[in-house]
């Protein structure tokens, strides 16, 4: 059951990213995520109230705020990267967010070990290869989706650390605070950047679907970790770029250059090695 839930979670994450990135081709990513967060918040609140006892403390609120700020900014960058770059390249680069907790652990003196070191190296090489054709267009702006994808990976990675720290006290409370921060921060971003405040009827539904899909993916992931081995669940859930890549190929008819395809494969393999190996 845990394996099935983790796989469904990865499919939902990848699909939500594709939908969010597609809508962001028509609207600023901050506007898209704002309305996605409006749709997701009631969903998460109901789940939190029905399935667990909430316990708000300095730990859950503090880390929930950090997670909300970092993840919302990270996803804004991700949606913008998906909207302006090649989805099949952007998604695997963003999935290297899993390397952030590993890097922090290394800074704390927790050596990654030889196997994880290989995974990190493969992921970095994969990112460079996947972005190679675009980085060569640096002066003309071809690098921007790659830079945004790396910013997204950093933001999402920081949120993973924050959620893990807050979950030591209460996971549901941390996640609920995180989701409450989303719309508050995004309203400020939309106002400051003068982005459209209304998504419009044609964009509102897919934005809501992306938000609810992301929230459901997080929920299924959490359930899967309760009954399955965390490394296995994390590995399967981290396959979400595959779904994004397949959808981009089938619907948008994206094609990757050979160099990009090799880079995408290496990045995915590197991420899988990191999340499945011990220290």
Contact assessment for residue 94 and residue 180, using Cβ atoms and an 8 Å cutoff: no
Residue 85 to residue 77: CA distance in whole angstroms: 12
Instruction: Give the pLDDT band (50/70/90) at residue 74.
Output: very high
Residue 21 confidence (pLDDT) above 70: yes
Mean local confidence (pLDDT), 138-155: 78
Instruction: Give the pLDDT band (50/70/90) at residue 138.
Output: very low
Residue 203 to residue 30: CA distance in whole angstroms: 13
Domain ranges of the chain: 2-276
Least Cα distance to 145 among 127, 157, 158 occurs for 127
Give the whole-number percent of the chain exceeding pLDDT 90: 19
Would the pTM of this model clear 0.85, i.e. be above it?
A: no
Mean local confidence (pLDDT), 170-187: 88
Give the whole-number percent of the chain exceeding pLDDT 70: 86
Residue 199's pLDDT is: 77
Contact assessment for residue 73 and residue 133, using Cβ atoms and an 8 Å cutoff: no
Residue 128 confidence (pLDDT) above 90: no
Give the DSSP letter string of 33-89: HHHHHHHHHHHHHHHHHHHS-----HHHHHHHHHHHHHHHHHHHHHHHHHHHS-HHH
Check residues 126 and 65 and name the one with the higher pLDDT. 65
Angle between helices 113-135 and 87-94 (to 10 degrees): 150
Residue 99's pLDDT is: 75
Query: Residue 215 corresponds to which tokens in the numbers above?
Result: 């929230």
CB environment 23-55: b (16+ within 10 A), e (fewer)? bbeebbbbbbbbbbbbbbbebbeebbeeeeeee
């Amino acid at each position: 059951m845990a394996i099935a839930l983790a796989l469904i979670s990865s499919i939902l994450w990848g699909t939500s990213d594709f939908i969010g990135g597609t809508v962001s081709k028509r609207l600023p990513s901050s506007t898209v995520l704002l309305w996605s967060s409006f749709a997701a918040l009631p969903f998460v609140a109901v789940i939190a109230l029905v399935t667990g006892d909430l316990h708000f403390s300095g730990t859950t609120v503090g880390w929930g705020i950090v997670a909300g700020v970092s993840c919302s900014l990270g996803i804004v960058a991700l949606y913008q990267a998906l909207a302006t770059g090649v989805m099949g390249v952007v998604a695997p680069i963003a999935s290297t967010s899993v390397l952030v907790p590993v890097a922090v652990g290394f800074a704390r003196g927790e050596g990654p070990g030889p196997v994880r070191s290989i995974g990190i190296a493969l992921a970095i090489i994969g990112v460079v290869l996947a972005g190679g054709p675009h980085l060569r267009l640096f002066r003309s702006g071809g690098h921007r989706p790659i830079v945004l994808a790396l910013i997204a990976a950093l933001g999402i990675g920081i949120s993973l650390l924050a959620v893990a720290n807050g979950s030591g006290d209460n996971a549901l409370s941390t996640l609920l605070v995180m989701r409450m921060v989303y719309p508050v921060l995004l309203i400020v971003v939309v106002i400051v950047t003068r982005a459209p405040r209304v998504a419009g009827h044609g964009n509102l539904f897919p934005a809501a679907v992306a938000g609810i899909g992301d929230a459901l993916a997080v929920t299924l992931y959490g359930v899967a970790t309760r009954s399955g081995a965390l490394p296995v669940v994390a590995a399967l859930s981290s396959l979400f770029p595959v779904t994004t890549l397949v959808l981009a190929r089938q619907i948008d008819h994206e094609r990757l250059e050979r160099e990009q395809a090799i880079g995408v494969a290496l990045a995915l393999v590197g991420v899988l090695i990191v999340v499945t190996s011990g220290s």
